[in-house]
A = this chain, B = another copy of it.
Amino acid sequence: MDKLSVIKIGGNIIDDEAKLNLFLKNFAAITGKKILIHGGGKLATQLAAQLNIQQQMVDGRRITDAETLKVVTMVYAGAINKNIVARLQSEKCNAIGISGADGNAIIAHKRKYETIDYGFVGDVDRVNTSFLQSLIENNICPIVAPITHDGKGQLLNTNADTIAQEIAKALSNQYEVSLIYSFEKAGVLLDTEKEDSVISVLTPGKYEELKAAGKIFAGMIPKLDNAFAALQQGVNKVIIGQAENLATLISGKSGTSIKNE
């Protein structure tokens, strides 16, 4: 089985021109098969404010009315996605920018909740693995914006972390997948004040132990629970760490590697 890196880039990197350029240079230099998933950082919020579109957040999730959907489609699938693609092309990485509608890549349905109307927010039903595989096998690198569609003509706004995880799981039948969350922190820290307290390997046993001892920062728990769930669904390992160190993250020499054993 070939190896595949499914890499999510954090919003703070996208907001920082110099960090983004360095990240993309490092991403282009990865020789193996790879997919990049990006969010929108603060740019969508800024554009919505400029257009006087009121933004409502519930549990860290944007309520996506029709106007907001237009904004995130423009910012994520337009401005950010195409700029990333053009920069990667200049680094000789043959990138193609896609949303979930393109090539029918990611099919979702509008989220249904009893208490909250999230608007045009999509929960993923299916990843079109044969389409993604055909791109990868032709040495074309997919750059995925967090916009999906319902197959009935409606675009939907979907969390980029979730998209990365769904893609990683779906492609685990075809590849040995590493799912990499790259952001501004060095990894999962034992002491949130100390960047050098990175836990280098986290197994289910060690995770339970540290959680019981109250040594896992509460904000990390949902992310880590998701990571272990991904492992149970076929992903080989999940790596969390600093975007600047992409090469050593992938080789397991930096960041936190989350694996079954």
Binding site for B on A (CB under 8 A): 47, 50-51, 70, 73-79, 81-83, 85-87, 89-90, 94-99, 101-104, 134, 138, 140, 147, 149, 151-155
Contacts and interface: CB of A to CB of B under 8 A. Distances in A.
A156 to B, nearest CB: 9
Contact of A102 (B74, B97, B101, B154): B97
Given A85-B149, A96-B103, A97-B101, 19 more contacts: A47-B74, A50-B50, A50-B51, A73-B78, A74-B74, A74-B75, A76-B78, A77-B78, A82-B102, A82-B155, A85-B99, A85-B101, A89-B104, A89-B151, A89-B153, A90-B151, A94-B104, A95-B102, A96-B98
Please indicate which of the listed interface residues A140, A153, A154 has the most CB atoms of chain B within 10 Å of its own CB. A153
A134 B139 CA distance: 12
B74 A86 contact: no
B74 A149 contact: no
A2 B155 CA distance: 33
